[in-house]
């Protein structure tokens, strides 16, 4: 299978879930509010997501048109959602009394979703983490051994894992974490796995957080983003992005060759706040109609943005995304080639389109867009179209 699936997948679900979900004040609550480890630990007695929770997350991902999921197996607070031999601070010892990661992996497989594990290198409960390797080498080594043991457990006990999504390496280096050694072991156990760039080594892909790079990056990449302003469940955060913003972000990412890892923070019982569900459903609906213009597209000869939208491409097939519907007609300079077929992707109704002297003209369009977010017009060229430079002076002063 290899790793090609990743660049074709385009859209994945990020899930931040842990003890912090009980408090509902974001996943950094322990740190922000300086909650002592002993007190925070007592949240274990209340941690009991309902049995079908992971199933709901996967079914939501599927409905949203996502191809993979990344779940926090352990966040910075140190609470492991999995059965681990090197820490008793885990889901099996909590009120839940079960391995949430085992359930999660099982659900992903049933829904045909690729399986991603988020793992935070740092753990706030360890003195050695705060002290660092300089101050006490022996304690630091003990801490890093614990981290390595957990990653090895995750890579050994759950079958095939598709993504290892590290986080929390700061302020230490790849040498401090012995990341090279760790990732070598990871790849021995999981030859096809993709590893992100947050263990201090570049590995397989970059992870811009909460933004889309301005220019197309050289390396494989994935933007991770929240739907409101929080990763972990936050009761008071209702600053939700609109469906339109989310769809436009997806298209912008895809036209630059990246993936979109969009986050949900479920509540303590595992249920997903409705505003998140609603938005993911709307995205899924749009993708069920327009998915062809997203999945499997590659950065091509005419891929990019134009003043009223974006362009995605699959060789000789070009998808004009109209996000600011002009009504009547569309003019895009800089494209040449012979168009053999042109139609609205949503209903396959023909569209009048032609190229002339390096201009693409689409005409006789309805006054109103077919889609409230992004109306996609598919153009089939007789061969891969070419980008041509249309000079300003030469054209404007003609
Ligand atoms: C930041 C936050 C962390 C979150 C991550 C997701 O690194 O510290 O809480 O999990 O972003 O990328």
All domains of the chain in start order, with CATH: 4-293 (3.20.20.80), 304-396 (2.60.40.1180)
Closest approach atom of ligand 1 to CA 16: 10
Distance 232 CA to ligand 1 centre (A): 9
Asked if omega into 171 is within 30° of 0 (cis), the reply is: yes
Judged against a pLDDT cut of 70, whether residue 167 lies above it is answered with yes
Distance 181 CA to ligand 1 centre (A): 24
Closest approach atom of ligand 1 to CA 263: 6
Judged against a pLDDT cut of 90, whether residue 163 lies above it is answered with yes
Give burial (CB, 10 Å; 0-12/13-18/19+) of 68: buried
Q: Is the CB of 209 under 6 A from ligand 1?
A: yes
What is the value of pTM for the model shown?
Answer: 0.97
Q: Is the CB of 167 under 6 A from ligand 1?
A: yes
Closest approach atom of ligand 1 to CA 72: 10
Confidence (pLDDT) at 3? 85
Closest approach atom of ligand 1 to CA 224: 12
pLDDT tens digits for range 261-298: 999 999 999 999 999 999 999 999 999 999 999 998 99
**Mean pLDDT, the chain, as a whole number?**
97
Confidence (pLDDT) at 393? 87
Weakest-pLDDT range from 28-37, 180-189, 387-396: 387-396
pLDDT tens digits for range 174-206: 999 999 999 999 999 999 999 999 999 999 999
pLDDT tens digits for range 102-135: 999 999 999 999 999 999 999 999 999 999 999 9
């Amino acid at each position: 299978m290899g790793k090609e699936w990743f660049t074709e997948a385009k859209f994945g679900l990020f899930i931040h879930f842990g003890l912090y979900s009980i408090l509902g004040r974001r996943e950094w609550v322990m740190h922000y509010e300086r909650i002592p480890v002993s007190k925070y630990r007592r949240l274990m007695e209340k941690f009991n997501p309902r049995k079908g929770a992971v199933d709901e997350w996967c079914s939501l991902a599927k409905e949203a048109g996502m191809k993979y999921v990344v779940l926090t197996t352990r966040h910075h607070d140190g609470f492991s959602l999995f059965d681990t031999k090197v820490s008793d601070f885990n889901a099996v010892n909590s009120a839940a009394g079960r391995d949430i990661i085992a359930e999660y992996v099982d659900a992903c497989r049933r829904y045909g979703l690729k399986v991603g594990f988020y793992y935070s290198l740092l753990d706030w409960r360890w003195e050695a983490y705060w002290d660092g390797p300089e101050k006490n080498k022996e304690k630091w080594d003990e801490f890093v051994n614990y981290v390595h043991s957990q990653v090895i457990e995750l890579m050994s006990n759950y079958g095939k894992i598709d993504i290892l999504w590290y986080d929390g390496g700061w302020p230490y280096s790849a040498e401090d974490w012995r990341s090279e050694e760790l990732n070598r072991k990871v790849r021995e156990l999981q030859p096809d796995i993709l590893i992100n760039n947050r263990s201090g080594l570049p590995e397989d892909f970059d992870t811009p957080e909460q933004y889309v790079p301005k220019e197309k990056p050289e390396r494989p990449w994935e933007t991770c983003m929240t739907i409101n302003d929080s990763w972990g469940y936050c009761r008071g955060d209702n600053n939700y992005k609109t469906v339109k913003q989310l769809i436009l972000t997806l298209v912008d990412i895809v036209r630059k060759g990246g993936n979109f890892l969009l986050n949900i923070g479920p509540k303590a019982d595992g249920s997903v706040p409705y505003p998140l569900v609603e938005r993911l459903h709307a995205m899924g609906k749009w993708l069920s109609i327009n998915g062809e213009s997203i999945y499997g597209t590659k950065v091509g000869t005419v891929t990019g943005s134009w003043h009223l939208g974006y362009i995605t491409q699959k060789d000789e097939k070009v998808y004009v995304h109209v996000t600011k519907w002009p009504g009547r007609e569309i003019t895009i300079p800089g494209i040449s080639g012979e168009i053999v077929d042109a139609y609205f992707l949503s209903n396959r109704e023909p569209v009048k389109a032609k190229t002339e002297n390096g201009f693409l003209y689409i005409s006789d369009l309805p006054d109103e867009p077919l889609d409230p977010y992004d109306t996609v017009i598919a153009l089939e060229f007789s061969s891969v179209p070419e980008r041509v430079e249309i000079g300003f002076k030469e054209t404007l002063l003609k």
